[in-house]
Amino acid sequence: MNTHRLFARSRLRLALWYALVMGGILGVLGLGVYRSIVQANWVALEREIESIAGTLHDSLEPMLPNNSSPTEVLQQIFPDLCLVNQPCRTNPTLIERHTIGISDRRLYYIRLFDYRGRLLVFSPNQPTNLSPQLNKETWQTIQTLNGNRYRQFTTILHSADNVNQSSWGYLQIGRNLTAFDAENRRILWVLGISLPVALGLVALSSWGLAGIAMGPIYQSYQQQQQFTANAAHELRSPLASLIATVEALLCINNDHNCETQTLLQTVERQGRRLSQLITDLLLLSRLEQETEPNDWTFCCLNDLVSDLTEEFLELAIAAGIDLSSEVSSKEIYVWGNESQLYRLVSNLIANAIYYTPAEGSINISLVSSEKMGIITVQDTGIGIALDQQERIFERFYRVDEARSRQKGGAGLGLAIAQAIAFKHKGYLTVESELSRGSLFTVRLPMPL
């Protein structure tokens, strides 16, 4: 399968999963918000009905008649209501304005029952299919034939002169829920429109975030592919040479000892090259592990730089290069692995010697600044082009391909040096200019 298609499908799956999860979360949150708003409106509506019923209850009880036929008194109290079995005539009265006028009277209806549950008076705007029989439940939700809903509240009325019965009767107040239901539908419409829009935005952001998340993985995969190709290329050359040398040895008679010796030396050289390459790759693999080894200790950079300068002095003299060092008189210690730090600095010095022509110079210095031990390796070599300075720390990358192969380098020296610096919580930088030389700087933190 094509690599690009593989990562594109992975990105799509990641984006879909993210969109589905976010869609589920948004859906649950939207449902929760809707239920909260509806419940809050419902509680407010019931409180409003109870408030009106309480006001009416307190206004009516002192005026309730105590006789067995209260219709005449009720007609005087409620001239705007309809008496049972009598024609209706509605005129706004003081008590109606006092009790019902605080809200839209078209939304409410009133019904009064005696203590036996017989309907006495009712509002002319009550639902048409409302039963004349008393239902003593405190709260009821009623739905008419045309689909309108009402919320009805029932409370007990007491007369001041009532001594024989436990109650004078019952008061029922109902409220039309058309506006309440319409508001709920509007909320549903808002959620129904906004949720798909939000899901669309989530899908777009999911695609972008999936691309950001897959970026490092894709880059790592490409680096792994490049590393595999480079490693195979580096291993193929010495292996091909070894095979050719062995085949030549098999064809030579035992009398040709001189030729055999030369071929065996070639085998040994290529074998050492392979061994060194494998050792370097294993070192890089160990350096990439985040666990700190147990063999770390306090390392004196002064001794390390002085020893390396002395060790490479002979090689520099043979190449016609002036090698010098400037080491701080103050002892500088860092926490780390001495052999790895030795490899870091030696790789920098070796590179400087390889890429500095005869009669050039290399200077190694060690100073401390702001709790950092600073090692610099400056040469007057061929330099590095600006566009190549970002790639010189890549594995198997060579600035001068022909010269590196001639000297046997595999292009892992600077990659190993940078990995060691990172392992020791430090960093390695380069400043270079073509034909003017290069300056490599290693900064390592000093223990507090």
pLDDT digits (tens, 9 = 90+) for 57-69: 887 777 777 665 5
Check if the beta carbon of residue 439 is closer than 8 Å to that of residue 377.
yes
Q: What is the pLDDT of residues 312-359, one digit of tens each?
A: 999 999 999 999 999 988 999 999 989 889 999 999 999 899 889 998
Distance CA 446, CA 379 (A): 26
For residue 14, CA distances in Å to 74, 198, 212, 276 come to: 73, 18, 11, 42
- Which pLDDT belongs to residue 68? 52
Distance CA 448, CA 438 (A): 31
Query: Does the fold of domain 297-445 match that of domain 3-186?
Result: no
Domain at 3-186, CATH from 3.40.50, 3.30.429, 3.30.450, 3.30.70: 3.30.450
Q: Residue 399: pLDDT above 50?
A: yes
Q: Residue 405: pLDDT above 50?
A: no
Q: For strand 322-327 and strand 361-369, is the pairing parallel, antiparallel, or unpaired?
A: parallel
Beta carbons within 8 Å of 33's beta carbon, 6+ residues apart = 191
Strands of the 427-433 sheet, one edge to the other: 322-327, 361-369, 372-379, 437-445, 427-433
CATH code for the part of the protein at 297-445: 3.30.565.10
DSSP string, 273-299: HHHHHHHHHHHHHHHT--SPPTT-EEE
DSSP string, 383-426: ---GGGTTTTTSTT--SSHHHHHHTT--S-HHHHHHHHHHHTT-
- Which pLDDT belongs to residue 447? 85
Distance CA 41, CA 44 (A): 5
Check if the beta carbon of residue 26 is closer than 8 Å to that of residue 195.
yes
Check if the beta carbon of residue 323 is closer than 8 Å to that of residue 313.
yes
Distance CA 7, CA 213 (A): 11
Check if the beta carbon of residue 394 is closer than 8 Å to that of residue 435.
no
- Locus of tokens 């600095």: 345
Q: What is the pLDDT of residues 253-270, one digit of tens each?
A: 666 567 666 766 777 676
Q: Residue 115: pLDDT above 60?
A: yes
Q: What is the pLDDT of residues 134-143, one digit of tens each?
A: 888 999 998 8
Q: Looking at residues 38-53, what average pLDDT do you find?
A: 92
Summary mean pLDDT of the chain: 80
Taking only Cα atoms into account, the Rg of the chain, rounded to an integer number of angstroms, comes to 47
How would residue 98 be classed by pLDDT, with cut points 50, 70 and 90? very low
150 exposure class (CB count in 10 Å sphere: 0-12, 13-18, 19+): buried
Higher pLDDT, 130 or 400: 130
Domain ranges (residues) in the chain: 3-186, 297-445
Q: Residue 197: pLDDT above 50?
A: yes
Q: Which of 52-66, 139-153, 224-238, 293-307 has the lowest mean pLDDT?
A: 224-238
177 exposure class (CB count in 10 Å sphere: 0-12, 13-18, 19+): buried
Distance CA 330, CA 373 (A): 11
SS3 255: coil
